[in-house]
Structure 1
Amino acid sequence: MNVSITGLTKEYGKKKALDAITMQLEGNKIYGLLGRNGAGKTTLMQILAGQVMPDGGEVLIGGQKPFENQAITESICLINESENFKKGMKIGDIFKFAGYFYPNWSLETAEKLLEEFSLDKKMKVKSLSKGMESALGITVGLASRSPITIFDEPYIGLDAAARSRFYDLLLEEYEVQERTFILSTHLIDEVSRLLEEVLIVSDGKLLMQKNADELREESFIVNGPRSDVSAFTAGKNVIHRKAFGSMEQAVLYGESKSDARKAGLNVEHVPVQELMVYLTEKTKGGVSA
């Protein structure tokens, strides 16, 4: 199910949460939606899920607008950081509701994941710890088998082992039934191995949409004597620079690793999380058009 977004705008008072965003998302891919707090990620996801109406522009999912369109919204599952379920509901009741709403709902998957996360259908949401509630959200999101499944910081309260298991389960489900996953997270380096395409949002604008492998190949760190690094980076797209003594380190985007190696510089991988931070700095860095 393809997503087409054209000139998307949303304002809250004088704050422009989304500012003329345009992007195309192909079906059956795992996307990472990245950005700092307040960048507009949550608003974008809520609009995609048909929960919020945009002020301008257009969103088409499978050729249709999602807002107040059940034929589309039942094909989208958005799991938020919290408050996904009413506190008085039992897990079993949530599964029944999900079965009515999501056409591809897999009770078998849901029950398997309950066991995985040591949950029970008789438990009420209000009795769950933060981590258990996150595990329930993950369970519903994966078991929905929705053509578009969106996770907005879904792991709050989960320890590192449980988060790692979530990533494995997501890949397992993706192999069973391909669909579009959109992951918004601040633990970027943890999920970077999953991502096929990266979307970076800054101040309500789409800063970048890039194939994840290409992004890793086109961004790198060079280390060496300050004079050598300065000579190599002259005229190039440097998004971060740091000097220590006679040595210097520079982070480049959209340049050639082989040229850096030919210049005798040490070339290192730059983590996606660091790259996002550098690209969204207001006073430094940026992406060449």
Structure 2
Amino acid sequence: MDPVIQVRDLTKTYKDTTALDRVSFDIERNTIYGLLGRNGAGKTTAMSILTAQNFATSGSVRVFGEDPYENARVLSRICFVRESQKYPDEANATIAFRTARLFFPNWDQGLAEELIDDFQLPMKTTIKKLSRGQLSAVGVIIGLASRAEITFFDEPYLGLDAVARQTFYDRLLADYAEHPRTVILSSHLIDEISNLIERVLVIDKGRILMDQSTDEARDRATNLVGERDLVERFIGSHEVLHRENLGRTASVTFLGQLTDAERREAGNLGLELAPVSLQQLIVRMTQTGGSPATDSPAQEGALR
């Protein structure tokens, strides 16, 4: 491993609320991460502390081996694009990009101009009069054109339509291939970014629930559908994340992979096996806190 960020026992409390609870993880160099979790899980708090925009209650953070707080050597190598980014009232996109050029030594003006065309961004309109999607485009352009060694995107594409979001994803991958760096994407659009991210970091209730490669995460769970009694007998000791029943049919999502012999047995029993998408896995794990589903009455409804 070649970590550019090292976090150890990081805790952040606000009065009676614990936003981060002794969190430890590493962020590797030149890797695209998905920082995922529910609203209020602690994602933005973590990013704010890593970029020295907030203080930890306890624990340590090292970025490029140093404490980032009031450290120009570190902060000049980081770009943090956040959903709630503020700009001066009279600023327009031209001023925002001109200012960004002063902060980021790797700024690529040619790329910025290409992205301005891609997003059809009005440059002379004051930022406070831009639409939500146009405001998001300003942040996306800064994040990409900065070519910072570490770039955080905290839900920066809210308000962008599907075409604009795909433009962002395509541009990010293309530029990352030519200019590798560390990118941390925080998003609720997990299915959309699942093919972008190389590692998954899931925070739930202030704690790390998952920290592994995207391929490993995809292989963690399986969905099984079939006659209820056969399904329940087949599941055995596997850790169940979610159950749904519809009449005599059951759909169960469980952790762990089946052996070839188990797959043949499932086929012989008429049971259907299906992979679990990254979004489904994270939704189910955060619903249960990473614990097995309880034996309370299963939900009635459409099977997934």
Q: When the two structures are superposed, what TM-score results if normalisation uses the length of structure 2?
A: 0.90
Looking at structure 2, the residues matched to 212 and 242 of structure 1 have their Cα atoms a distance apart, in angstroms, of 26
The 3 A distance-change label for structure 1 pair 222 and 79 is same
What is the letter of the counterpart of residue 108 of structure 1? G
Distance in 1 between residues matched to 2:120 and 2:259, nearest whole Å: 47
SS at match of 2:219: helix
Matches within 5 A, 1:195-274: 195-256=197-258, 258=260, 260-264=262-266, 265-274=271-280
Q: What displacement does 1:173 show? A: 1.3
2:286 aligns with: 280
Q: Which aligned pairs between 1:136-155 and structure 2 lie closer than 5 A?
A: 136-155=138-157
SS at match of 2:45: helix
Give distance in 1, aligned partners of 2:21 and 2:217: 24
1:266 is aligned with what amino acid? E
Runs of 4+ in structure 1 displaced over 4 angstroms? none
Task: Sort the Cα spacing of 1:18 and 1:168 in 2 relative to 1 into closer, same or farther, 3 A.
Answer: same
* Kept after mapping to 2: 8 A contact 1:219/1:270: yes
Number of aligned residue pairs: give it: 287
Q: Offset at 1:97?
A: 1.4
CA distance in 1, matches of 2:54, 2:169: 28
Q: 2: CA distance between counterparts of 1:26 and 1:272?
A: 21
Displacement of 1:122 in angstroms is: 2.6
Q: Does the 8 Å contact 1:236/1:255 carry over to 2?
A: no
1:284–1:46 Cα change, 3 Å: closer
Aligned to 1:124: 126
1:132-183 per-residue CA deviation (whole Å, 9 max, x = no partner) reads 0001110000001011111111111111111111111110111120011111
Percent identity for Structure 1 against Structure 2: 41
Per the alignment, in what secondary structure is the counterpart of residue 281 of structure 1? helix
Q: Which moved more, 1:233-242 or 1:138-147?
A: 233-242
**Which residue number corresponds to residue 114 of structure 1?**
116
Verify the 8 A CA contact 2:204 2:289 in the aligned structure 1.
no
Q: Secondary structure at the match of 2:153?
A: strand
User: Does the residue aligned with 1:222 lie in a helix, a strand or coil?
Assistant: strand
Instruction: Please say if residues 221 and 255 of structure 2, whose CA atoms lie closer than 8 Å, have aligned partners that are also in contact.
Output: yes
**Structure-to-structure mapping, 1:68-147, within 5 angstroms:** 68-147=70-149
Structure 2, unaligned runs of 5 or more: 294-304
Q: CA deviation at 1:286?
A: 4.9
| Separation (CA, whole Å) in 2 of partners of 1:76 and 1:128 | 26
- Once the 2 structures are TM-superposed, how far is the Cα of residue 200 of structure 1 from its aligned partner? 0.8
Alignment check: 8 A CA contact 1:188 1:273 kept:
yes
Amino acid at match of 2:85: E
Distance 2:153 2:16 in 1: 28
Gaps of 5+ in 1: none
- Verify the 8 A CA contact 1:280 1:286 in the aligned structure 2: no
- Offset, 1:46: 0.6
Cα drift, residue 258 of structure 1: 3.6
Alpha-carbon distance, 1:83 to partner: 2.7
**RMSD (Å), alpha carbons:** 1.7
Q: Rate the CA distance shift 1:257–1:83 in 2: closer, same or farther, 3 A.
A: farther
Alignment correspondent of 1:55: 57
Partner Cα separation in structure 2 for residue 255 and residue 147 of structure 1: 37
1:241 partner amino acid:
R
Report how far residue 242 of structure 1 moved.
1.1
The C-alpha deviation readout for 1:243-275, integer Å capped at 9, x for no partner, is 112221111123326454222231112122221
SS of 1:156's equivalent?
A: coil
State the distance in 2 between where 1:191 and 1:137 align.
18
Aligned 8 A contact 1:225 1:246 in 2: yes
8 Å CA contact 2:81–2:154 kept in 1: the answer is yes
Letter in 1 for 2:112: A
TM-superposition CA deviations, 1:50-93 (whole Å, max 9, x none) = 11121111111110011111111111111111334333212222
Q: Is the 8 A contact 1:222 1:260 kept in 2?
A: no
Query: Larger deviation: 166-175 or 219-228?
Result: 219-228
2:162 counterpart residue number: 160
Structure 1 residues 259 and 11: CA distance shift in structure 2, 3 A: farther
In structure 1, how many angstroms separate the alpha carbons of the residues matched to 2:231 and 2:244?
Answer: 11
Separation in structure 1 between the aligned mates of residue 247 and residue 280 of structure 2, nearest angstrom:
23
- Kindly tell me: are residues 84 and 141 of structure 1, through their superposed partners in 2, closer, same or farther at Cα, counting changes over 3 Å? farther
